[in-house]
Amino acid sequence: MVTEPTDSTAGLEEKEGAPVSFAETALRLGGKSEEEAQRTGAIDEADDQVERMFQPQYQTVNSPIHQAVWSRTLPVELFQSHDVETAENVQTVMDDSVTLVKEHRNQGTLLDSNNKISEAVLDDLGGVGYWGLLVGREYGGSGASFRSFAPFLTRMALVDGNIAGLASVHGCIGAVDPVRTFGSPEQKQRFLPGLARGERISGFALTEPGAGSDLTALKTRAERHGDHFLVNGEKLFITNAMPGRTIGLVCLVDDAPAVLICELPDEENDQVRFNKYGLYALKQQHNQGIIFKDFRVPLENLLQPSQGNGLTIAYHGLNLGRVALIANSAASMRIMMAGMLPWADYRVTYGEKIAQRELVRRRLGRLAGLIVACDALVAWGSELIDQGYRGEMECIIAKIFGSEMQKEAAIELCMKTHGGRSFLHGHLIGDNIHEYLAPCIYEGEGEMLGMAFFKSLVKDHGKRYFEPVGKALQSAGIKKPNMLNPLHLWALKGALVPYSGWMASQYLWPRSWSQLPAMPESLKQHAMFAIDQLQKSSKQISGAMRKHQLKLADRQCRMSELSTRVQSMVVMLCTSLYAARQQDQVVVDAADVLCQQITLELTGRRPPDRFYRDITRLGETITDGGFTSLAGIESDEILMNY
Ligand SMILES: Cc1cc2nc3c(=O)[nH]c(=O)nc-3n(C[C@H](O)[C@H](O)[C@H](O)COP(=O)(O)OP(=O)(O)OC[C@H]3O[C@@H](n4cnc5c(N)ncnc54)[C@H](O)[C@@H]3O)c2cc1C
């Protein structure tokens, strides 16, 4: 049982350390241009600095996934989430917020005349404490743990996904997390109470027209003039950017990325202009570009982390945002399922309801598995953050799985089941398709994140065993090593010893895992398979590193493939452990079919009949009302009924 209060700044440590960027060294040794080596090195250095903020036991090398792949013993308990006990004051805020949004929805007052969430709703939410959930009680918030906050977003998103999304924009990636985690006591005192009341709800301004995936290309700059900065530059795609809001602005200060907390003026003016464009996604929120021209920001609004810089701050908040994102997906997929059921029961083709058909039942079974996996990753990721883990790889999995599966659910499962009606105005899919797709891009595009995941996973192994080899080759002037050439072998003799030792240990000593909890047999088999695969993946990954050596950074397809496989194994382990502690047999069955599917993907085998029997039987149970967590979700009316 996880109890309040815990917070996502737990585990942070202030520590000195001389930064050495492995990525930069590797790229330089691999013959990349000085510019690319330096730019990648800057990102890698920001990553190292985030790392040093955490106590050793919470750093990436000791994270659940890193240990699962590289350690001799896989710590099963680190993949196991627990029930959460939400503090009474937090529960009240959550209940009041949901009630309030439902009331506005029922009265038709959620949206303003521009079809955006109305200011009155945002104000009312401030009144019940919604915006202060992640702010400590000493600053007027309710101090919710992240483990309570994340699944609450699923609950809120069942009522309104945009309002749930805004809580993450404000609390995770917006100004709240940067200030509460990196602000000085004075900055916390100055900003947090207002942010908790929602007087100026916040957003985060990182992306620029020329800097999205490549954050080293940031151009927006703040220069000191007396007691303030003058900001010049342009931001793009900023959610919640509008007059009167607060933003965490990532810009260059003294040539390094930094975060300024900026209170945007109440009216557009010569210093701050908004670049308005039509955007298909987040259509009920304000997402605009911002153009700064000599915009004055007080010097004391600069956040100064004891380690790192503005990217450090951005990475920290993005981790929370990524778990929040999958929490929203868990709700969207439930809403999709709730809409598929009455339709499948209504639609008759060839004399039979489509709910009776295997294809439709298979889709429902698949969707149930995806929902359970999302719930599992929400519980797991948020608990790790509260425990103090950095959680970068774990949160990346949450974000990629949540966004990619929401896309699959929308297109492969929901759209196909609704047929042509999916494209009618007023249909869930037609009206929201961009909302369902955009998470694949915002907070980092999935495949780019998958590569970042892989780089984090191999960084320590590379530094430990491959960097010495690269350096030995460089100093011997060898560009292409040939292990049959005695001169090359001689040049590498010292550098190869540690790696040879690691390889030998992989073959000589069997690996183990800590004890599995009591689990239904089917789930136990899945957990064991995932553990076995995770442990075997170290040799596969190391093999790719050995094969491609310093060119591995260019082998993006291989990195992406290996990354995706490890991610799937982690989803499987977490989902089987999560489902094993649920009382509901349908949840267990849903986890079982999802894990069966992952096994088939990982092994490349054709689905046996048993799998189709299991997944369609699950679909049948769902059509009979067996998926209880859909309770209370209202589905849209059937369009073009006949
Ligand atoms: C609805 C929405 C809301 C958003 N909200 C915010 C917000 O609140 N704040 C904010 O700061 N940003 C926000 N963004 C921006 C978002 O985070 C970026 O769009 C995203 O990070 C990708 O950046 P980009 O669009 O510039 O893609 P680009 O950098 O143009 O990249 C496009 C694609 O090129 C490929 N690519 C790029 N580099 C490489 C490489 N090295 N190797 C291989 N492939 C590569 C990848 O597939 C990548 O996705 C939002 C975006 C959207 C759509």
Lowest mean pLDDT among 205-219, 304-318, 430-444, 582-596: 304-318
Which residue's CA is the closest to the ligand 1 atom numbered 25? 212
Residue 374 amino acid letter: C
Pick the more confident residue, 190 or 3: 190
Residues in contact with ligand 1 by the CB-under-6-Å rule are 203-207, 212-214, 237-239, 281-282, 287, 438, 441-445, 447-448, 556
> How many other C-beta atoms can be found within 10 angstroms of the C-beta atom of residue 514?
12
Ligand 1 midpoint to CA 440 (Å): 10
**pLDDT at res. 492:** 85
Q: Which residue among 286, 399, 445, 556 is best mutated to probe the pocket of ligand 1, counting the most ligand atoms within 8 A of its Cβ?
A: 445
519: which residues sit within 8 A by CB, 6+ positions away?
527, 576, 577, 580
Mean pLDDT of all residues in the chain?
A: 93
pLDDT band at 172 (very low <50, low <70, confident <90, very high): very high
Ligand 1 midpoint to CA 151 (Å): 26
Ligand 1 midpoint to CA 117 (Å): 25
Ligand 1 midpoint to CA 444 (Å): 6
Length of the chain: 642
Nearest to 586 by CA among 292, 365, 422, 323: 365
pLDDT over threshold 70, residue 8: no
Pick the more confident residue, 15 or 372: 372
Pick the more confident residue, 32 or 312: 312
**pLDDT at res. 22:** 64
**pLDDT at res. 21:** 66
Residue 254 amino acid letter: D
pLDDT over threshold 60, residue 297: yes
pLDDT over threshold 70, residue 304: yes
pLDDT above 70 coverage of the chain, percent: 96
Which residue's CA is the closest to the ligand 1 atom numbered 43? 448
**Which tens digits make up the pLDDT trace of 345-394?**
999 999 999 999 999 999 999 999 999 999 999 999 999 999 999 999 99
pLDDT band at 17 (very low <50, low <70, confident <90, very high): very low
pLDDT over threshold 80, residue 480: no
pLDDT band at 518 (very low <50, low <70, confident <90, very high): very high
Nearest to 368 by CA among 149, 86, 582, 75: 582
Residue 298 and residue 262 in contact, taking contact as beta carbons nearer than 8 Å: no
pLDDT over threshold 90, residue 327: yes
pLDDT band at 46 (very low <50, low <70, confident <90, very high): confident
Average pLDDT over residues 77-91: 97
How far is it, in rounded angstroms, from Cα 176 to Cα 143?
Answer: 12
Pick the more confident residue, 14 or 255: 255
**pLDDT at res. 15:** 40
Q: Strands 272-275, 287-298: parallel, antiparallel or unpaired by DSSP?
A: antiparallel
pLDDT above 90 coverage of the chain, percent: 82
Give residue 226's region: left, alpha or beta (phi > 0; psi -120 to 50): left
How far is it, in rounded angstroms, from Cα 458 to Cα 562?
Answer: 11
**pLDDT at res. 321:** 97
pLDDT band at 4 (very low <50, low <70, confident <90, very high): very low
**pLDDT at res. 11:** 52
Ligand 1 midpoint to CA 514 (Å): 39
User: Which atom of ligand 1 lies at the shortest distance from residue 445's CA?
Assistant: 49
pLDDT over threshold 80, residue 559: yes
Indicate the pTM of the whole model: 0.94
Show the tokens assigned to 45. 């250095």
Average pLDDT over residues 232-244: 97
pLDDT over threshold 50, residue 414: yes
Ligand 1 midpoint to CA 28 (Å): 26
User: Which atom of ligand 1 lies at the shortest distance from residue 447's CA?
Assistant: 47
